[in-house]
């Protein structure tokens, strides 16, 4: 696998020149970028508009992994800083499982009531067995166009102890197919485009949003300050976890 160095991929040693030319530091910088590294493809995912700090996400009583020793955390492959979009009424949802030991995975999809609370029970549930790495689940039900839904995945680390569940959730919105494809996260992730490049695009968007909210929180007060701080931490953590997924895939 190619290793990311900022916005560049490091080439394998076998593809590097046998010797490094004697260059000054300025010229060597260009030598590195021309000979040792090659750039990631241009941005594939742009995100639909500015991130919104009130987008609904949730983490469970525990985050990370069932084992507690995995280098990478359980991660939804989806935006936290804004609502990810799809034009597919039966989209595919994806997440990353860090543990090699299989556990039960419970997926829930919720619709919103008129007052914007989640309708209970969920409109769809599925119980799966985890597999290490990226898991994908094509929804077998039809979602309604121009509607926003909330989806949640729980790792049932110990079915007898609910407090050990690792849970994450975020939103998805079904939009018109005329919406620019570069704004439709779930469609891009399910396409033939390189998944790891898409995840890096999203990681950068999440990082930028998290940093902006952290700066805004410094001058905010009361409940607004608390909300901005919480969302900033959550989104920056998602950015870091997405980068970890890329590094480990």
**What are the phi and psi torsion angles at 206 (to 5°)?**
-65, -40
pLDDT of residue 39: 52
Residue 35, pLDDT > 60, answer no
The domain limits of the chain are: 3-39, 58-194
* Mean pLDDT (whole number) for 126-142: 96
Nearest-angstrom CA–CA distance, 125 and 108: 5
Query: What are the DSSP E strand ranges found in 143-235?
Result: 148-156, 166-174
What fold, for 58-194? Immunoglobulin-like (2.60.40)
pLDDT of residue 72: 85
Provide the β-strand partners of residue 150: 110, 171
- The pLDDT tens digits for 39-63 are 555 678 988 866 665 556 554 445 6
* Mean pLDDT (whole number) for 191-210: 91
**H or E element in which residue 198 lies:** helix 195-219
Q: Provide the percentage of residues in the chain whose pLDDT is more than 70.
A: 77
- The pLDDT tens digits for 140-192 are 999 999 999 999 999 999 988 888 899 999 999 999 999 999 999 999 998 87
- The pLDDT tens digits for 108-124 are 999 999 888 999 999 99
Bigger pLDDT: 98 or 160?
Answer: 98
In three-state secondary structure terms, 247 is helix
Among residues 70, 149, 60, 173, which one has the least CA distance to residue 106? 60
pLDDT of residue 193: 73
Q: Tell me if 128 sits within 8 A of 95, measured CB to CB.
A: no
Among residues 93, 92, 95, which one has the least CA distance to residue 63? 95
């Amino acid at each position: 696998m190619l290793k990311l160095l900022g916005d560049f991929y490091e080439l394998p040693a076998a593809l590097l020149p046998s010797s490094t030319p004697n260059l000054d530091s300025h010229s060597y910088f260009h030598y590195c970028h021309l000979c040792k590294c090659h750039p990631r493809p241009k941005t594939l995912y742009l995100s639909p508009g500015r991130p919104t700090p009130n987008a609904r996400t949730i983490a469970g009583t525990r985050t990370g992994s069932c084992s507690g020793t995995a280098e990478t955390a359980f991660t939804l492959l989806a935006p936290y800083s804004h609502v990810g979009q799809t034009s597919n009424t039966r989209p595919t949802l994806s997440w990353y499982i860090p543990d090699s030991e299989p556990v039960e995975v419970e997926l829930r999809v919720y619709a919103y009531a008129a007052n914007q609370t989640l309708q209970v029970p969920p409109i769809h549930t599925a119980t799966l067995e985890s597999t290490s790495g990226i898991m994908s689940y094509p929804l077998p039900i039809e979602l309604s166009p121009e509607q926003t839904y909330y989806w949640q995945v729980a790792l049932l680390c110990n079915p007898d102890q609910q407090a050990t569940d690792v849970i994450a959730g975020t939103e998805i919105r079904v939009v018109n197919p005329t919406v620019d494809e570069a704004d439709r996260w779930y469609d891009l992730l399910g396409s033939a485009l390189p998944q790891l490049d898409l995840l890096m695009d999203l990681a950068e968007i999440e990082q930028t949003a998290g940093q902006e909210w952290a700066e805004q929180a410094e001058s905010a007060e009361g409940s607004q300050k608390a909300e901005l701080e919480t969302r900033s931490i959550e989104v920056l953590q998602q950015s870091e976890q997405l980068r970890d997924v890329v590094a480990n895939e």
